[in-house]
Structure 1
Amino acid sequence: MSFVRAYLRASTDEQDASRARAQLEAFASERGLRIASWYVENESGSKLVRPDLFRLLRDAQPDDILLVEQVDRLSRLTSADWEKLKAEIAARHIRVVALDLPTSWIMATQSADEFTGRMFEAINGMLLDMLAAVARKDYEDRRRRQAQGQARAKAEGKYRGRPADLKRHKAIADMLNRGMSWQAVMDAAGCSRTMVAAVSKTLSPVD
């Protein structure tokens, strides 16, 4: 029996990784599918190593569906890293379905005959590669524009860096001081393990 495993990602702790949850639920419901498990994380799509994505891959069984809102939620990777991720997905025989890739939708139902299914799989693979390449280019373009803006601001003496979310950091610190586990803090604050670790380092040791 196939399971639908939904993957939600945002790049930073300030962004809501669960933003697209309702869209994925609606997509699945319209096709008579039920999302069996959710994997949510705040990590850059340019990083190959993402704990929750690879937890999904470890949990998945052959023929399971990896459901994402957009291909760029899955990958903003370099070509080499994208090939590694694709190989991992292929080795586990997982079907990737993305809301912004209509050719992948047929993978969610398996209603096509063998020939049509293979044709759509080939077309889907090609378009998946194309959207992954576009996502990477968009990432690199934004990074370049950001660097240019920061360089100009520094030259003009206006650059102050990214301000810390002090209110959020204090809330995390309070929870840690109350003895809550890192996972509980992550769930309550909607933040990554990296942020919890950073805040934890600022706390004074308890005698």
Structure 2
Amino acid sequence: MTFIRAYLRASTKEQDAGRAREDLEAFCRERGLTIAATYEENESGASLHRPELFRLLKDSKPGDILLTEQVDRLSRLSDKDWDQLKREIKDREVKVVALDLPTSHMMMKTEDAFTGRMFDAINGMLLDMLAAIARKDYDDRRRRQAQGIAKAKAEGRMKGRPEDAGRNEAIMDMLRKGQSWNTIVRATNCSRSTLAKLAKRLEGTEAAAG
């Protein structure tokens, strides 16, 4: 039996990885099909560190379908990493179907062997093309962002984030009370580098007071 496995991804924890769930479910309903399992994660598409994607592939049997909203949900990878992911997909004999790739929709149907191989070849070529476009878009955005930051610094417009004085004072109070760094990080969600700066500031304050 062929299973349809939906893959949902967003880049950051602030984004809703499940946003496209309804679109994928509607796509299957229109074809009289049902999604058997859903895999959702918040990871960068430019990284192969995708635990849920690889869990999906590990769970899959030959002929299963990996269904995703857009090809860029699957890959904004470099050529090398994309080749590695493609090999994994091919070795598992998983069919990739993306809502933004109409030719892939034919993979949902049972075809004779020749037709299936033809669609597989066409789909693979278009997947490569869209993955390359997605990566270029990622690289372009990163380059524009870096240029914008460099320009802002050169013009003296970039001052960094304003300090959260209330939170930082609370953190220093926790340090005064002898709470561990791990406890403070878990309670405030601050970075260890921020914590180190505040600890150093507290030492300076206490030294001056002494």
Q: Which range, TM-score by smaller chain?
A: 0.7 to 0.9
Aligned residue pairs total 173
What is the aligned partner in structure 2 of residue 127 from structure 1? 126
1:142 counterpart residue number: 141
Instruction: Give the conservation status (yes or no) of the 8 Å contact 2:72–2:131.
Output: yes
- Counterpart of 1:134 in 2: which secondary structure? helix
Matched, 1:3 2:3: yes
Q: Offset of 1:113 from its aligned partner?
A: 2.4
CA contact (8 A) 2:12 2:42 kept: yes
TM-score normalized by the length of structure 1: 0.77
Bigger radius of gyration: 2
Q: TM-score, normalised by structure 2?
A: 0.76
Separation in 1, partners of 2:107, 2:162 = 43
1:25-54, Cα deviation, whole Å (9 max, x unpaired): 111111111111111111110001211111
- Tell me how far 1:162 sits from its aligned partner: 6.6
- Note the C-alpha offset of 1:128: 0.5
Q: Name the CA shift for 1:161/1:79 in 2 (closer, same or farther; >3 Å).
A: farther
Instruction: Give the SS at the match of 2:119.
Output: helix
Q: Larger relative contact order (C-alpha < 8 A, sep ≥ 6)?
A: 1
Aligned AA for 2:58?
R
Pairwise CA RMSD: 2.6
Question: Match for residue 52 of structure 1?
Answer: 52
Matched with 2:115 is 116
More helix by share: 2
Structure 1, gaps ≥5 residues long: 165-195
1:199 alignment partner in structure 2: 189
State how 1:1-207 maps to structure 2 within 5 Å: 1-110=1-110, 112-161=111-160, 199=189
Unpaired segments ≥5 residues, structure 2: 164-185, 196-210
